[in-house]
Amino acid sequence: MGRLAVGRRAVGRWAAATVPAMSRTAMVGRTRWLLGALCAWTVFLWGNRISNAWSSSTESSSAKVVSTALAASFLAFAVGGVVVLVRSWRSPGADVPNGFLAAFAGWTVAVWAIRVVSIALGDHSVGFTMVHAVLGLVSIGLAVALARSARLVGPDRRSTSDRGHR
């Protein structure tokens, strides 16, 4: 069984010897699955955030608008992710748009890292803080796994004719 070096650089001294070979098709499939999972999770979380913000009697109108704008940025990434999934389903040989996936993952990690710390330092109950820490960790975990998978797939370097395009 062959081995796969991670990208152009080895990650760690023994990466080429420890990362099992995985076909490009399997890696693209894993990346699609992770993107679908992150999109679904994002819609669930941030759709609920909009609902919670506007049904809250304790948040000011400006706080509701800010929460909605933040949620809308995540929902826009989720819609973009669904577009990527549909396009990749229609054209299986198409390259994975690593820039978009990195932006989606990066935004998720950055916002949740700030948000979890802010909630932990805020005046919130332990339960509220723990729930949001778990939500943040799941979001960050999915985002990091997606970014790593997309980076491992990289662009398809085969010629267009080898990918089945005419």
Task: Name the nearest CA neighbour of 105 among 147, 154, 43.
Answer: 147
For residue 72, give the amino acid letter. Answer: A
What SS3 class is residue 3? Answer: strand
User: Is the Cβ–Cβ distance between 34 and 142 less than 8 Å?
Assistant: yes
pLDDT beyond 60 at 27: yes
Q: Residue 115 has what pLDDT?
A: 96
Q: Residue 22 has what pLDDT?
A: 63
DSSP string, 15-45: HHHHSB---HHHHHHHHHHHHHHHHHHHHHH
- Calculate the CA 123 to chain-centre distance: 29
pTM of the shown model: 0.77
User: Is the Cβ–Cβ distance between 57 and 90 less than 8 Å?
Assistant: no
130-148 pLDDT tens trace: 999 999 999 999 999 999 9
34-49 pLDDT tens trace: 999 999 999 999 999 9
